[in-house]
Amino acid sequence: MLIEEYQIELYTPPWNPGAHRFAARARFAVNISKVLPYLNAVLCGAHYVPSMNTLMLKQGDLLIAFHPHEISITDAANPEDAEQRLKPYIDLVNQTWERRREITPDQRTRLRPTHLAIYRLLPRTNCRECGEATCYLFATKLVLNLRELRDCKPLLEARYRAQLSALEEMLTP
């Protein structure tokens, strides 16, 4: 087993100061960098950046990030909830490592677009209908998979059809 011991930490997400829920991470002494190419091979839609030793994954509303010495998630109510949400990903790392001889590791990066590239295709009216203060903040959260295109109602209007189509293409894994 690769990760035998870990500590759970809760913290306020930097993109959401004052939030009532938390981000959380499991920290461990062992380095899991060598598992990331195997996870990249088995996880559909993962975003792996070998130069940063990071793999990100979106599951429902949850964003999960695998780093050499920690796994973090974007949402947890309390330490028990964090433990419950993080444990399956710790198990996934351990199980993938045990199965590594059956898996062909994948070193490829599936590039995500930049905030600015996405922002340029949004209506850029800062109308706040999506609940964000600016279109740029919305673009930032789109890149992090914390929001969805359909949350921007103006973007669904006929006049933005081309932009919507381009954004869908950019954001589809």
Binding residues (CB under 6 A) for ligand SF4: these are 122-123, 125-130, 132, 135, 138, 152, 154-155
Q: Considering the complex, what minimum distance in angstroms separates the CB of residue 127 from ligand SF4?
A: 4
Question: 73 or 135: whose CB is closer to ligand SF4?
Answer: 135
Question: 33 or 134: whose CB is closer to ligand SF4?
Answer: 134
Pairing assessment for the beta strands 7-11 and 22-27 based on DSSP bridges: antiparallel
For 34, the 3-state DSSP assignment is helix
- CA 23 – CA 61 distance, rounded (Å): 13
CA distance from start to end of the chain: 30
**Which CA distances in Å does 53 have to 124, 125, 161?**
34, 37, 37
Cα dihedral: 23, 27, 31, 36 (round 10): -30
Question: 99 or 128: whose CB is closer to ligand SF4?
Answer: 128
Q: Considering the complex, what minimum distance in angstroms separates the CB of residue 105 from ligand SF4?
A: 38
How much of the chain is helix, strand and coil, in % rounded to 5? 40, 20, 40
Question: 27 or 120: whose CB is closer to ligand SF4?
Answer: 120
Tokens of 56: 């990100």
Q: Considering the complex, what minimum distance in angstroms separates the CB of residue 141 from ligand SF4?
A: 9
Placement of tokens 């002494």 in the chain: 29
Question: 33 or 126: whose CB is closer to ligand SF4?
Answer: 126
β-sheet bridge partners, residue 54: 49
Q: Considering the complex, what minimum distance in angstroms separates the CB of residue 140 from ligand SF4?
A: 11
Q: Considering the complex, what minimum distance in angstroms separates the CB of residue 155 from ligand SF4?
A: 6
